[in-house]
């Protein structure tokens, strides 16, 4: 094997493609965000308005960079971001994320631990919207589109699911207030659930809008705590009380026992559907 062949092998190795993807998408997002903040900080616009103006180009640049990079790098059509599937997959993903955040709150309400103190203007949703839309697009393009997809191609779906689930578990072990339920919940929700959803749908639109709805619903609509998305205003001003096992304690309803169980069940449903649809990649199938 000559040097040219060696360089090509390294260049197209899945870890190289992951690193390049993270650097390109993450770097472009950071640059656009920096430029936006530099310009808007000179204005007298409200903070929420500035964040909204920045959020939209950040999402767009993440999409463009991913599409252009892997269309060129892998010489293929980017079917996971098919325009024809946008409406259907985005809507179904949003509904799924909304429901899986609403069910744990409904359980708390059923046991008398969730009380609405005030209904606010829709404008109170804007801070949560800004944070959620950016998190949905940037995080899932990098985590699912780059890391999971390329790991799955190399190792197979089963091993890729295990790797991503363990990765999120290890990343959240030392989070302040973390416990076995919160670590398992995060690992299942961020590692297993969305990866399994992608394996079934083969659509980044689905997981992007699932994540968007997830981060919008709990803190933005119900006024609950979302450790990864701290917002100070919500559509509903609420009071959540009760046992930490049921409410998630200082880490919010998404880290409750019922949220863990709901997301675990949803994950296995996606896994079964992915296998039934023949979307499961066996180890060594793609080298």
- Map out the domains of the chain as residue ranges: 83-276
Bridge partners (DSSP) listed for residue 237:
118
| Structural Rg of the chain based on CA atoms | 20
Q: What is the pLDDT of residues 108-145, one digit of tens each?
A: 999 999 999 999 999 889 999 999 999 999 999 999 99
Does the pLDDT value for residue 214 go beyond 80?
yes
Lowest mean pLDDT among 200-204, 230-234, 267-271: 230-234
Please choose, from the candidates 206, 240, 208, the residue with its C-alpha nearest in 3D space to the C-alpha of residue 226.
Answer: 240
Q: Which residue carries 């998305």 as its tokens?
A: 229
The rounded mean pLDDT for the chain is 92
- Secondary structure (3-state) at 114: strand
Structure-token pair, residue 117: 């103190």
Contact assessment for residue 136 and residue 211, using Cβ atoms and an 8 Å cutoff: yes
pLDDT of residue 2: 63
The dihedrals phi and psi of 256, each to the nearest 5 degrees, come to -90, 165
d(CA 244, CA 250) in angstroms, rounded, equals 8
**% of the chain beyond a pLDDT of 90:** 79
Largest CA distance in the chain: 71
Q: Residue 77: is its pLDDT beyond 80?
A: yes
Q: Are 95 and 213 in contact (CB under 8 A)?
A: yes
* Contact by Cβ (8 Å): 147, 164: yes
Predicted TM-score (pTM) of the model is 0.93
Residue 286, pLDDT > 50, answer no
Please compute, for residue 173, the number of CA atoms within 13 A of its CA located in the half-sphere on the CB side.
6
pLDDT score of 10? 78
What pLDDT shows up at residue 287?
Answer: 40
Helical segments of the chain, H only? 3-11, 14-40, 47-73, 86-110, 126-134, 140, 149-155, 157-171, 180-186, 194-201, 204-216, 244-247, 257-276
Does the pLDDT at position 227 exceed 80?
no
Instruction: Give 258's pLDDT tier (boundaries 50, 70, 90).
Output: very high
């Amino acid at each position: 094997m000559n040097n040219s062949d060696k360089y090509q092998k390294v260049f197209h190795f899945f870890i190289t493609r992951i690193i390049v993807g993270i650097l390109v998408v993450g770097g472009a997002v950071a640059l656009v965000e920096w430029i936006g903040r530099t310009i808007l900080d000179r204005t007298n616009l409200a903070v929420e308005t500035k964040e909204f103006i920045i959020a939209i180009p950040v999402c767009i640049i993440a999409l463009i960079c991913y599409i252009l990079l892997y269309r060129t790098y892998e010489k293929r059509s980017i079917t996971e971001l098919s325009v024809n599937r946008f409406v259907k997959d985005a809507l179904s993903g949003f509904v799924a994320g909304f429901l899986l955040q609403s069910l744990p709150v409904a359980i708390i309400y059923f046991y008398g631990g969730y009380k609405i103190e005030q209904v606010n203007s829709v404008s109170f949703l804007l801070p949560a919207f800004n944070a959620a839309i950016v998190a949905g697009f940037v995080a899932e393009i990098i985590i699912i589109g780059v890391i999971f997809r390329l790991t799955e191609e190399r190792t197979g779906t089963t091993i890729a699911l295990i790797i991503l689930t363990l990765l999120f578990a290890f990343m959240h072990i030392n989070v302040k207030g973390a416990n076995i339920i919160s670590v398992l919940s995060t690992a299942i929700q961020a590692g297993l659930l969305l990866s399994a959803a992608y394996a079934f749908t083969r659509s980044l639109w689905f997981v992007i809008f699932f994540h968007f709805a997830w981060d919008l619903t709990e803190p933005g609509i119900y006024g609950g705590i979302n450790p990864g998305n701290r917002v100070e205003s919500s559509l509903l001003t609420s009071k959540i009380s009760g046992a930490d096992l049921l409410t998630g304690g200082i880490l919010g309803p998404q880290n409750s026992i019922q949220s863990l169980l709901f997301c675990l069940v949803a994950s296995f449903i996606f896994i079964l559907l992915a296998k039934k649809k023949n979307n499961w990649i066996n180890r060594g199938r793609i080298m």
